[in-house]
Amino acid sequence: MADSEPPLLDVDGVSLQFGGVRALNDVTFQVATGELFSIIGPNGAGKTSMLNCISGRYKPSTGSIVLKGREITHLKPNARADLGIGRTFQNLALFGHMTVLDNIMVGRHHLMKSNFLTGALYWFGGAQKEEMTHRREVEEIVDFLEIQHIRKEIAGTLPYGLRKRVELARAVALRPDLILLDEPMAGMNLEEKEDMARYVVDLNEEWGMTVIMIEHDMGVVMDLSHRVMVLDFGRKIAEGVPDEVRANEHVKKAYLGEEDELLIDEEEERVAS
């Protein structure tokens, strides 16, 4: 990001409290347009809480969140989606009774312009043409994520790894400027992780999406990320390029005090391959 270019996302002094529990404590960071920015930390560090504040599921107790120069701290989730924020969830949130294509089309809903009247005049108004346009967009995403073979399957019947891919497809269907990925590779085997990592990089580099990712696999985080922020008990304890974060003493202590903790997953993958 050039010095004169404002950040895409500016999070300033965000705290989040539930009763007597402080999930986030005065967290400040910025994400530049085109970055792949990862948030890491031990379980319970506040990572998903931060994504929930950015996407609008939670309202911060204090602090502000600015997207593309506009404060969004008090906007509802659907308004933030309209402004270009998409996300996936740690726990799958697909419509299990719907087909893969219909799940992805849900991600296009806020982009549709047809109202009740044009919908009623489907064959005479613009609704039919609009739906065809959105269907083409969905098919492009299906091709990109290599899920052509399951496009008409019921989402709830799919293996876990494919359901994770469908959830990513639905978030991508929104065509967001900023996509929030909450553990996109959790529960996957090595081959599935490699595929998902490739999709994330392509979304960032080829589709032009700025990415904020939570991921526990430190090998993936250090390989893919432009910058990394570390949370511990709701506080930011480090931020920087992967090598800086890897060498940070506070980060080492946060990960059970083991100096090589951040390298364990990466080394295991190297041995396995």
Number of neighbouring beta carbons within 10 Å of residue 15: 18
Asked whether residue 258 is domain-assigned, the answer is yes
Q: Are residues 208 and 139 in the same domain?
A: no
Distance CA 189, CA 181 (A): 18
Is the pLDDT at 205 greater than 80? The verdict is: yes
Q: Are residues 218 and 245 in the same domain?
A: yes
Residues making up the chain, counted from first to last: 273
- Which positions ≥6 away from 76 have C-beta within 8 Å? 56
Asked whether residue 202 is domain-assigned, the answer is yes
Residue with tokens 């990109």: 144
Asked whether residue 89 is domain-assigned, the answer is no
Q: Are residues 273 and 158 in the same domain?
A: no
Tell me whether residue 92 is exposed, middle or buried, using C-beta atoms within 10 angstroms of its C-beta: 0 to 12, 13 to 18, 19 or more. Answer: middle
Q: Are residues 188 and 271 in the same domain?
A: yes
113 band by pLDDT with thresholds 50, 70 and 90: low
Of 150, 175, 200, which marks where a domain is finished? 175
Query: Is pLDDT larger for residue 125 or for residue 65?
Result: 65
Q: Are residues 257 and 198 in the same domain?
A: yes
Q: Are residues 101 and 130 in the same domain?
A: yes
Q: Give pLDDT tens digits for 145-191.
A: 999 999 999 999 999 999 999 999 999 999 999 999 999 999 999 99
Asked whether residue 256 is domain-assigned, the answer is yes
Q: Are residues 115 and 246 in the same domain?
A: no
Q: Are residues 75 and 104 in the same domain?
A: no
Is the pLDDT at 264 greater than 80? The verdict is: no
- Residue 152, domain extent: 94-175
CATH number of the domain within which 265 lies: 3.40.50.300
Q: Are residues 15 and 59 in the same domain?
A: yes
Of 130, 148, 175, which marks where a domain is finished? 175
Q: Are residues 184 and 266 in the same domain?
A: yes
Q: What per-residue confidence (pLDDT) applies to 269?
A: 47
Is the pLDDT at 106 greater than 90? The verdict is: no
Of 151, 175, 199, which marks where a domain is finished? 175
Q: Are residues 182 and 223 in the same domain?
A: yes
Q: Are residues 189 and 171 in the same domain?
A: no
Residue with tokens 């080394």: 267
- Asked whether the beta carbons of 183 and 91 are under 8 A apart, the reply is no
- The DSSP H or E segment spanning 49 is helix 47-55
257 band by pLDDT with thresholds 50, 70 and 90: low
Distance CA 69, CA 104 (A): 29
pTM of the model: 0.85
Total domains present in the chain:
2
